[in-house]
Amino acid sequence: MRKAATVTVTGWAGTTPREISGDGVAFTSFRVSVTERRFDPRSGEWGDGPTEWFTVKAFRDLALNVAESVRKGDPVVVTGRLRTEVWQADKGQQAGFVIEADAVGHDLTWGNGTFRRRVRRDGPTDGPEPRDPGSGGGGSDGPDGPAGPDEPGGAMPADPWAVHGPVSETADAQPDDAELVRTP
């Protein structure tokens, strides 16, 4: 069991994610602001409370997807492990909240979105291979159905929801052989 403070924060991207590649692991970070709306019973009006700022850090495939998807001003939902980071500044020692993201998405309360899945074909990943959403997951003969991917003749089925081609390394570039597939 992982012992960490897991939080979910809804707010607004205060910066555009900075894509950084260090030690061979994709990394990106951006800031999220959260301002509570409060009702003042004396005036009968709604007003803004104090603004809290969080630095969001994402790694590996999540970092690449965040760098391509999130822009300054976007409404976002972030789930991850809450940490306190301390650094030395001109004013002395400073501290701030950091969320090591497990998941990042747009808050669809404020608009609509289109999901595009990218399947990397250029090498192994840290996570599981993409699965066919219609396969129903596991079966009685193994974790991937009658013949798992490690068994003879048990290749992983193609992902019908995926955009095939390499993952773009920059937010503006689109792979030439990528195909956009809209989810139903």
Q: Of 18-22, 41-45, 154-158, 179-183, which has the strongest mean pLDDT?
A: 41-45
Look at 17-26, 32-41, 144-153 and tell me which has the smallest mean pLDDT: 144-153
87, 89, 92, 93: CA torsion to nearest 10? -10
Q: Do 48 and 35 contact (CB within 8 A), yes or no?
A: yes
At 84-116, the pLDDT tens digits run: 989 888 989 988 899 999 999 999 999 888 888
CATH architecture of 1-108: Beta Barrel (2.40)
pLDDT at 29: 93
Residue 52 is encoded by which pair of tokens?
A: 């809290």
Mean pLDDT, range 157-176, rounded to an integer: 46
- State yes or no: pLDDT of 28 exceeds 90: yes
- Percent share of the chain, pLDDT over 70: 62
- State yes or no: pLDDT of 120 exceeds 90: no
pLDDT at 75: 95
**Domain boundaries defined on the chain:** 1-108, 114-184
Mean pLDDT, range 72-84, rounded to an integer: 95
78 beta partners = 9, 104
CA 83, CA 97: separation in Å to the nearest integer? 6
At 52-71, the pLDDT tens digits run: 999 999 999 999 999 999 99
Q: Do 75 and 35 contact (CB within 8 A), yes or no?
A: no
pLDDT at 94: 87
- State yes or no: pLDDT of 6 exceeds 50: yes
pLDDT at 87: 86
CA 107, CA 27: separation in Å to the nearest integer? 22
- State yes or no: pLDDT of 181 exceeds 60: no
Q: What mean pLDDT is reported for the chain?
A: 74
CA 147, CA 149: separation in Å to the nearest integer? 7
